[in-house]
Amino acid sequence: MPVNAEKEITTLWRNLHTAQNEICKTYYRWREVALEIAGPEAKPLDVALKAAEMMGVDIGKHFLPRLNWLKGEEPFMLNLGRQLAGLWAGEGAVTTVEQGESPSEILIRCTRDPWPTAARQYGVPMEEVALTREKLFQTILVDVSVFFSVPLKIEMLKAIPRGEGEWVFRLYKDEN
């Protein structure tokens, strides 16, 4: 039986986009339930940041087997930046990774992100979207920093939810 490759690829592509869309929506549905259970005193931003922290700890542990310091600082940092960007791309974002000004600096850029659109559908403030992404990435780096004894930091330089047209994160080795 012949296979129609174009039809198969189109089906897989459509299914991927549907799954990516559901990732965002499921997170915001969960957020609504958590806030309802927590009661009227709960602050939505606190709940979102705690969720980002919990997810980041788990994700950070899963990054460890794919990282290797033996090839040097620059390849290590580039690989780590690619893992962060790849995680985001798996959620439907369009990301790139580039070398920064030094071997210990990587820039992660995102030009299309589905999270702000999903957040808007659930009435989530855009600042929460920005802070949640930053917290997720920061928490992922905690275990990586400890495991490799390398003080890693990440800072958000630009954010789509803040109307800045793209996301830019600076991943770097803290020299202080």
5: nearest Cα among 18, 152, 13, 141: 13
pLDDT tens-place string over residues 22-78: 888 999 999 999 999 999 999 999 999 999 999 999 999 999 999 988 889 999 999
Distance of CA 13 to the CA centre of its chain: 21
CATH number of 125's domain: 3.30.1380
Domain count, the chain: 1
Which range marks the domain in which residue 90 is found?
A: 5-173
Q: Which residue has the tokens 């009227």?
A: 40
Alpha helices in 39-160 (DSSP H): 44-63, 73-90, 115-121, 126-148
pLDDT of 150 above 80: yes
> 138: pLDDT confidence band, cut at 50, 70 and 90?
very high
